[in-house]
Amino acid sequence: MNVRQVLVLNGPNLGRLGSREPDVYGSSTFEDLVELCRSAGREVGLSVEVRQTDDEAELVKWVHEAADARIPVVLNPAAFTHYSYALRDALAQRTAPLVEVHISNPAAREEFRHTSVVAGVATGTIAGFGLYSYVLALHAIARLLREEGN
């Protein structure tokens, strides 16, 4: 089987999973998320690298790296979802599938979370399934790559 690299990129505060608002984000840690993504990736023939940053510039740099190398991306932009036009412009340069993910359902939360400035440049969005949103996104990436013959 041809193993394809995928980046799972996470924005601000996601490194604090497990201690940050467990009533919203659950009790699983960021390390649990990393293992879940790697395991789900292996199941569908993907080599998954998981990264997290609180720095918008670093996230944009990673998106550029993915675009230049034609690497598919699963992205949880976190707070950048709602206002980062720099991130949106970087994502618009994508050269491979991009799935936006959210652990919670932003549409069921505060009004300011209802708008995603990055959704319009994503292949699709998966939200509200807890950490399983990432598993669904990786399955979607694998299917899109198969359909493209990659």
Feature table: binding site: 76, 82, 89, 103-104, 113
| Strand, coil or helix: 128 | coil
Residue with tokens 């670093």: 58
What is the spatial distance between Cα 38 and Cα 62, in angstroms, rounded to a whole number?
18
H helices of the chain, in order, are 22-25, 30-43, 56-69, 85-91, 132-147
Can 64 be counted among the known catalytic residues? no
Active site residue: 102, 114, 132, 139, which one?
A: 102
Long-range contacts of residues 128-134, Cβ cutoff 8 Å, at least 24 apart: 128/102, 128/104, 129/103, 130/26, 130/28, 130/103, 131/26, 131/28, 131/32, 131/33, 131/36, 131/103, 133/101, 133/102, 133/103, 134/8, 134/33, 134/36, 134/37, 134/40, 134/74, 134/76, 134/101
| Residue ranges at the known binding site for substrate | 76, 82, 89, 103-104, 113
Active site residue: 25, 85, 114, 139, which one?
A: 25
Can 85 be counted among the known catalytic residues? no
Catalytic residues: 25, 102
